[in-house]
Structure 1
Amino acid sequence: MNRLDKIHIAGGTPLHGTIRIQGSKNAALPMMAAALLYPGVSILRNCPKIADVFCMEEILCALGADTWWQEHDLYLDCTKADKTEISGIYTEKMRSSVILLGVLLGRYGKASMGYPGGCVIGKRPVDLHLYALREFGVCIEEKKEFLEAECRKLKGCEIFFAGSSVGATEQAVLTAASAEGKTRIHNCAKEPEIIWLCRFLKRMGIKIQGEGTEKILVEGGAPVKGGDMQVPPDRIVAGTYLCASAATRGKIEIENPPEGELTAFLEVYRKMGGQYEWNSGKLVADSRRVRFPVPLTETAVYPGFPTDLQSPLMAVFATIPGESRIQESVFEDRFKIAEELNRMGAEIKIQGKKAWIRGSFCLKGTKVRAQELRGGAALVIAALAAKGESIVEGYSFIRRGYEDISQDISRLGGKIKKDTGTTIYEDIQQY
């Protein structure tokens, strides 16, 4: 394990203070893909400097784009982005890279890429992407190591998704932007990221109606211009820090909360005993009375409880005596942190898509390992609530979605630092 891939945390300190939330990962990535539609400069303001954004930036550069940063504003000049092949080196890192297919087809009529996430096509969400592209008239050949797509001209169509998928909805909207005529997309995902993508495309000159509903109408094929837009605050990062406050029984204020996007999470937060109020556009969350187990929390597509906050919530439940239950209804295998939390003193039992969490008055610090992004953030939350020092390995997973979770938590008074070869207690004077 790389020494720099670890963070040290001394738990037991309630978080207090004010925090500002970074730009949204899930909004920025499809906006970056959309920038490829215009052979000129687009700007994403307040863009998060995270691993997934850097990966998408590398892909665009490999396609011929020029990119540069001014503070947190990302400039994308796609004037010379004339390549149509995306190496599996990039696509293996990030499944969302698949949304570039429709954009490349709209601009050049052809595209090829390694399989997203390094997996072969099967009963996976990417099937919906390919279905949508074929409805536009795209011919797709699924070869052993890569996908190859070609189309003389994209034409507007009717798309009926069998299930709600954020990525597939984004793919359809992005492809429709270049297709001649009108495209009607049914059973669309309603997540805020879809709305933000559509707003960005509207700024590029594309006519869109119905974003945020089950049916989106796109009128494509017209000339586009460069987009310039502020990336909204990340609702999952906001929820993560609210969970950290809840686990440590702290009180925090979020300066720029994603208003209207945290309703389902705040309902569960209230059931735990958390109190919150909106004050002049800020969200003040008081977790000092968090102590109640929640009989059942079920993840669902938006506006339901977000699956990306399921693991952070499990970490909070692990600190609450009594039995809470979570049902994961979006992904098949998202209880990977249960074993790690059990090593910290929780009692979690998994049966299929259900988890029973019997919390502890005091988790114990130990060495744990992240296996994926949100689970890694959840282990940080548990470590902040635990007695003693914890080492969270796999920090690289966390960096995929959090600019600097160590710095953010430190600003709220948490005792956390990246690995420098010493224990956090040896460096405690810095706090």
Structure 2
Amino acid sequence: MDRIRIVGGNTLSGTIPVSGAKNAALPLMIASMLTSETLTLDNVPRLADVEQLIGILGNHGVDHSVNGRREGQDTHYGRTINFRAESIVDTTAPYELVSKMRASFWVIGPLLARMGEARVSLPGGCAIGTRPVDIFIDGLNALGADIEIESGYAVARTRKGLTGNRYVFPKVSVGATHVLMMAAALARGDTVLENAAREPEIVNLAECLNAMGARISGAGTSTIQIEGVTSLGGATHTVLPDRIETGTYAMAVAMTGGDVTLEGARADLLESALEVLERTGTEITPLNSGIRVRRNGGGIAPVDIETQPFPGFPTDLQAQFMGLMTRAKGRSTIRETIFENRFMHVQELARLGARISLNGQTAIVEGVEKLKGAQVMATDLRASVSLVIAGLAAEGETVVNRVYHLDRGFERLEAKLQACGAEIERLSS
């Protein structure tokens, strides 16, 4: 099993290209099941989760081909992949595939919309909370689906196809918003989704579906209107830049000091996180080409945060920010409101010398003068990169074990940090 070795103490300087967003690419790939024509996606990141989902879609009959790199195109730029579901050959998504990645459960929406039936294993993924699928099932029921749980599978059918309806999400859910938006695109009549997720990835999916012939308005607000159509066609669409990767590298610069341009990043996708970083003493400058992040080596100011759905501070940046706060000059409070088990990185940060106490869903971080390298263990995708951030500033050597979590969501992380002066390498077992 691979490990990452870091020798801390170097500042970061240079340019880091920001990859396409995993959280946008996955629902876009699943949307290819809604049409028999080709959906071409540009800027698809090279990630383990993307490869896993390609395999899952292939099980349903979705063919894919990867375009070659254009002449003169930087190798950091994401791939162009063509997806074509000319016919759906299997409406079952088996446990052995779905259990490895939660987002693969989302195929239930397109399968129901196009085929009128689906048998999808209940999901797996990171162990950061229960994340039940009740909202997905309740929403699809509102569109006319009959769904029962049988032997660990959601078995769904529609007698006469899906029918538009008004549905109010009992809590904001990005995944359920993705699924209901895809399902409603091919439902008869109009659908109104209220208390919908507002994340940029929702907007990106809506733009793609509209390019395919859907009629969706209001994406990015809490109320989304969908006028159902009888069929969707092919399209070409670009995956938006990864705001979580952007925030992660910005926090790495804030932790170590230095001056880095995050090429291709968009400040409008994570304004709340960038505002928080500025309060720590980090200089953030939006550019035409991306975002410049600079810290001159002065102390890191403590800042209190609370995770919230977009446009609030993202839960997917909570662990990284906690890593940053371990070196702050004072006490900070971090409250997690989205997932109930998302503090598993605390005990690993403590191995580096961090001082963190927990009270329910609140972490109190007492900044320390220095961290010291140690052997640590990644527990989930975002927790693992918080250990990298801490290791970049720790004295001596830090070794992060179980980095397959990192490969699920960060493309070429070691190479990108090496190019900016970090002493970091992958060790293969």
- Give the TM bin, normalised by the shorter chain: over 0.9
Cα shift readout 1:196-225 (whole Å, capped 9, x = no counterpart): 000000000101110111110011133211
Question: Is 1:201 the counterpart of 2:176 in the alignment?
Answer: no
- Partner Cα separation in structure 2 for residue 40 and residue 83 of structure 1: 18
- Partner Cα separation in structure 2 for residue 278 and residue 149 of structure 1: 46
- Partner Cα separation in structure 1 for residue 290 and residue 331 of structure 2: 32
Contact 2:44 2:81 in 1 (8 A): yes
> What secondary structure sits across from 2:363 in the alignment?
strand
Contact 1:23 1:232 in 2 (8 A): yes
Q: 2:136 aligns with which of 126, 129, 139?
A: 129
- Partner Cα separation in structure 1 for residue 287 and residue 199 of structure 2: 25
> What secondary structure sits across from 1:418 in the alignment?
strand
- Partner Cα separation in structure 1 for residue 136 and residue 330 of structure 2: 43
Q: Which range moves more in the overlay, 14-23 or 71-80? A: 71-80
Aligned residues: 416
Q: 2:4 aligns with which of 4, 7, 31?
A: 7
Partner residue of 1:116? 123
C-alpha RMSD of matched pairs (Å): 1.5
Partner residue of 2:295? 287
> What secondary structure sits across from 2:135 in the alignment?
helix
Question: Is 1:101 the counterpart of 2:98 in the alignment?
Answer: no
Q: 1:159 aligns with which of 153, 167, 185?
A: 167
Partner residue of 1:429? none
CA positional deviation for 1:420:
4.4
- Partner Cα separation in structure 1 for residue 378 and residue 95 of structure 2: 24
CA positional deviation for 1:145:
2.1
Cα shift readout 1:158-214 (whole Å, capped 9, x = no counterpart): 111111110111111011011011111111010101000000000001011101111
> Runs ≥4 in structure 1, deviation > 3 angstroms?
122-125
Question: Is 1:30 the counterpart of 2:27 in the alignment?
Answer: yes
Partner residue of 1:233? 241
* Code of the aligned partner of 2:153: F
- Partner Cα separation in structure 2 for residue 322 and residue 64 of structure 1: 55
CA positional deviation for 1:295:
4.3
Partner residue of 2:51? 54
Contact 1:293 1:323 in 2 (8 A): no
The structure-2 alpha-carbon separation of the partners of 1:388 and 1:202, relative to structure 1 and needing over 3 Å to count, comes to same
> What secondary structure sits across from 2:210 in the alignment?
helix
Cα shift readout 1:374-431 (whole Å, capped 9, x = no counterpart): 000111111111111111001100111011111111111111111047xxxxxxxxxx
CA positional deviation for 1:286:
0.7
Cα shift readout 1:237-281 (whole Å, capped 9, x = no counterpart): 010001111111121111211230121011111111001212334
Contact 1:9 1:390 in 2 (8 A): yes
> What secondary structure sits across from 2:44 in the alignment?
coil
Q: 2:18 aligns with which of 4, 17, 21?
A: 21
Question: Is 1:145 the counterpart of 2:142 in the alignment?
Answer: no
The structure-2 alpha-carbon separation of the partners of 1:420 and 1:132, relative to structure 1 and needing over 3 Å to count, comes to closer
Q: How does 1:24-423 map to 2 (within 5 A)?
A: 24-70=21-67, 71=69, 72-117=79-124, 124-152=131-159, 153-289=161-297, 291-420=299-428
Contact 1:273 1:289 in 2 (8 A): no
- Partner Cα separation in structure 1 for residue 23 and residue 3 of structure 2: 25
Cα shift readout 1:101-147 (whole Å, capped 9, x = no counterpart): 0100111111101111189xx97441100001101111111012211
Contact 2:267 2:286 in 1 (8 A): no
Partner residue of 1:424? none
* Code of the aligned partner of 1:340: E
Unpaired runs of 5+ residues, structure 1, are 422-431
* Code of the aligned partner of 2:391: A
* Code of the aligned partner of 1:10: V
- Partner Cα separation in structure 2 for residue 363 and residue 305 of structure 1: 26
- Partner Cα separation in structure 2 for residue 113 and residue 252 of structure 1: 44
The structure-2 alpha-carbon separation of the partners of 1:98 and 1:62, relative to structure 1 and needing over 3 Å to count, comes to same
- Partner Cα separation in structure 1 for residue 156 and residue 177 of structure 2: 19
- Partner Cα separation in structure 2 for residue 240 and residue 379 of structure 1: 11
Contact 2:3 2:428 in 1 (8 A): no
> What secondary structure sits across from 1:399 in the alignment?
helix
> What secondary structure sits across from 1:324 in the alignment?
strand
Q: Which range moves more in the overlay, 270-279 or 21-30? A: 270-279
Contact 1:246 1:290 in 2 (8 A): no
> What secondary structure sits across from 1:45 in the alignment?
strand
The structure-2 alpha-carbon separation of the partners of 1:346 and 1:118, relative to structure 1 and needing over 3 Å to count, comes to closer
Contact 1:42 1:227 in 2 (8 A): yes
CA positional deviation for 1:73:
0.6
Contact 1:272 1:290 in 2 (8 A): no
CA positional deviation for 1:91:
1.0
CA positional deviation for 1:322:
1.6
Contact 1:274 1:290 in 2 (8 A): no
Question: What is the percentage of aligned positions where both structures have the same residue?
Answer: 37
- Partner Cα separation in structure 1 for residue 269 and residue 402 of structure 2: 29
- Partner Cα separation in structure 1 for residue 210 and residue 137 of structure 2: 25
